[in-house]
């Protein structure tokens, strides 16, 4: 009797112990030490500093030309979406995300699918969402896989089975979407919102990783001025907004990408987005910096309380988000070691900040052509060019709203001391739409290119001919021409460019993210470069754009993995030295 009862009690415990032993538990210690983990890729940027750097050096400048395809996996990415995700790898399993919030796990040795989870989202509404139902990545922690889903859900799945452990609705309205990679900090799931053009108010939130209970939320722009401020920082921010309509139009400031964390100073760094609508004349008609748009915000991860902020584009009116990937490093500047935060936002400048207090250390032009500003002052505030703030008549501005740098992650190598940035030189025409009418669920940028000259009230000037000329800000005539996509190596110590190449045959806008390794190899857009010189050492034709490459080691072999190609033929490609699998041919859509 006693033996039978012991079997009943301990049998399930034994089974549970076996299952746990089969899955590596990634906890706080593993995430803090991820930078030194030479075999795995445990979080979106490889480590909390978001360096997209791996110490692995089996593949180096002497042998990278021997790379071949080890295996590939057809992801089945859903239609009408593109893949921008960077996967993670732990304990021999690769986890990732596809469009429409589809999550998956595959064997990192063979590509065998282990599980797949589809949130089953209706595709109709999201056809209006900027800029498509993409998802940039998942997080793993304590036996679970976490992700933000385009319909506003935050989910935790069982790491072994892909079954839902918990699911919560994050967005306060159906116009809020989640497209960024989530991060795990001190047992909390950090989630940023998307959809500034859809009349939303930006925020980022922290959820308990075990229960899904929300711990705190930081609103990036003030809400209804007739109501109490949700947290004290908003009282200061509200003084930088004018008029009384911004809260009805959302205000923007969504957090759709860049985050990083420093465990030593215990600060979480978050980049915020553009204004909604884009045109400040609409949302804040008497001007103002409109905090915390286009800013880097540092908060305490336990409470969400702000430690400091730095605004890169005050009073943004060009869709110059600061949500671009953030990188942390300790570097020597003028003979002194500094804990720095490095950032290349859309606005064309490269910033180096002291991450302990937000002090501006240096800033320089990353873009060759910047016409909206002539430079940065001693505190890092842009010096705006005359005529850059468009009204009703069209003005051509550089960079364009796509930015010099966008969602494609840059990489930092502690070996070379360089930051590698996928970017693009482009311009765009901005003008206020005189027929703009705000409506929830629409693209409320408030911009157009009118065909007749307008006065300051937007009324057509009588007697003037259509097709009003497009003008440029003062000094634009002295700027170089746009040159399109580039890959640049940047020295943050001197805030200057070391080298730049203009990729050929790559993705039209700038390729995917960058990856750099201890073997001094820089991977970008299905090419391998010498990280010191920029020389192309290896390339492969994948017949389409690539997303975020990673590297990992299993059984003594280093692999390079990246998702590439569009739908319906998106695939996960995994390369290794001396592998010989043929590149699968494109399967054309019917």
Number of alpha carbons in the 13 Å side-chain half-sphere of residue 484: 10
160 versus 439: the higher-pLDDT residue is 160
pLDDT in tens, 40-90: 999 999 999 999 999 999 999 999 999 999 999 999 988 878 888 999 999
Provide the pLDDT for residue 131.
66
What is the mean predicted confidence (pLDDT) over 405-432?
A: 96
**Exposure pattern of 437-456 as b/e (b: 16+ CB <10 Å)?**
ebeeeeebbbbbbbebbbee
Residue 590 banded pLDDT, cuts 50, 70, 90: low
pLDDT in tens, 495-543: 999 999 987 654 445 689 999 999 999 999 999 999 999 999 999 999 8
What is the mean predicted confidence (pLDDT) over 110-121?
A: 96
Residue 16 has pLDDT above 50, yes or no: no
Q: CA-CA distance, 28 to 26, in Å (whole number)?
A: 7
- In angstroms and rounded to an integer, the radius of gyration of the C-alpha atoms of the chain is 24
pTM for the whole structure: 0.94
- Of residues 279, 289, 319, 525, which has the active-site annotation? 319
Please confirm, yes or no, whether 151 is among the known catalytic residues: no
Provide the pLDDT for residue 579.
98
Q: CA-CA distance, 340 to 540, in Å (whole number)?
A: 35
Collapsing DSSP to helix, strand or coil, 125 comes out as helix
Provide the pLDDT for residue 156.
98
Residue 459 in contact with residue 450, Cβ under 8 Å? no
Assign 3-class secondary structure to 498-542: EEEECCCCCCCCCCCCEEEECCCEEEECCEEEECCCCCEEEECCC
Provide the pLDDT for residue 196.
75
pLDDT in tens, 327-380: 999 999 999 999 999 999 999 999 999 999 999 999 999 999 999 999 999 999
Residue 7 banded pLDDT, cuts 50, 70, 90: very low
């Amino acid at each position: 009797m006693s033996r039978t009862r012991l079997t009943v009690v301990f049998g399930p415990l034994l089974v549970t112990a076996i299952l746990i032993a089969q899955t590596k538990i990634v906890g706080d210690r593993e995430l803090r030490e991820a930078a030194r983990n030479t075999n795995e890729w445990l979080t979106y940027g490889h480590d909390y500093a978001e360096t997209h750097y791996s110490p692995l050096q089996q593949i180096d400048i002497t042998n990278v030309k021997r790379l071949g395809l080890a295996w590939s996996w057809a992801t089945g990415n859903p239609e009408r979406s593109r893949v921008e995700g960077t996967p993670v790898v732990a304990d021999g399993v690769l986890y990732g995300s596809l469009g429409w919030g589809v999550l998956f796990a595959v064997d990192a040795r063979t590509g065998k699918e282990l599980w797949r989870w589809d949130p089953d989202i209706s595709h109709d509404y999201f056809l209006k969402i900027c800029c498509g139902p993409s998802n940039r990545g998942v997080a793993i922690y304590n036996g679970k896989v976490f992700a933000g889903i385009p319909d506003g859900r935050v989910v935790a799945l069982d790491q072994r089975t892909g079954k839902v452990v918990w699911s919560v609705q994050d967005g306060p309205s159906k116009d809020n979407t989640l497209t960024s990679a989530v991060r795990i900090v001190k047992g909390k799931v950090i989630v940023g919102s998307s959809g500034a053009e859809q009349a939303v108010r930006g925020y980022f939130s922290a959820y308990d990783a075990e229960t899904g209970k929300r711990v705190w939320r930081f609103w990036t722009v003030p809400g209804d001025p007739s109501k109490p401020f949700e947290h004290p920082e908003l009282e200061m921010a509200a003084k930088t907004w004018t008029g009384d309509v911004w809260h009805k139009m959302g205000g923007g400031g969504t957090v759709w990408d860049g985050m990083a964390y420093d465990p030593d100073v215990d600060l979480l760094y978050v980049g915020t987005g553009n204004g909604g609508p884009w045109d400040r004349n609409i949302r804040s008609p008497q001007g103002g910096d409109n905090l915390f748009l286009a800013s880097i915000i540092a908060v305490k991860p336990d409470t969400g309380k702000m430690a400091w902020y730095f605004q890169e584009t005050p009073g943004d009116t060009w869709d110059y988000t600061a949500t671009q990937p953030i990188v942390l490093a300790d570097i020597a500047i003028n003979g002194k070691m500094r804990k720095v935060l490095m950032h290349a936002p859309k606005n064309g400048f490269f910033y180096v900040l002291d991450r302990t207090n937000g002090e501006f250390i240096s800033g320089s032009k990353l873009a060759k052509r910047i016409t909206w500003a002539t430079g940065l002052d001693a505190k890092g505030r842009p010096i705006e060019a005359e005529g850059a703030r468009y009204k009703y008549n069209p003005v051509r501005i550089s960079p364009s709203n796509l930015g010099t740098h966008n969602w494609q992650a840059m990489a930092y190598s502690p070996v070379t001391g360089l930051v590698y940035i996928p970017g693009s030189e482009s311009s765009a025409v901005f003008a206020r739409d005189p027929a703009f009418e705000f409506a929830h669920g629409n693209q409320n940028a408030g911009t157009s290119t009118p065909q007749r000259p307008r006065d300051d009230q937007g009324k057509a000037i009588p007697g003037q001919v259509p097709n009003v000329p497009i003008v440029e800000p003062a000094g634009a005539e002295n700027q170089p021409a746009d040159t399109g996509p580039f890959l640049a190596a940047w020295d943050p110590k001197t805030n200057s460019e070391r080298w730049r190449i203009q990729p050929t045959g790559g993705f039209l806008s700038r390729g995917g993210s960058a990856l750099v390794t201890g073997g001094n190899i820089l991977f970008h857009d299905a090419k391998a470069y010498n990280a010191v010189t920029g020389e192309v050492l290896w390339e492969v034709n994948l017949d389409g754009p690539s997303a975020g490459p990673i590297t990992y080691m299993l059984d003594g072999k280093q692999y390079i993995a990246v998702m590439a190609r569009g739908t319906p033929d998106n695939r996960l490609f995994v390369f290794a030295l001396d592998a010989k699998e043929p590149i699968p041919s494109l399967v054309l859509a019917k």
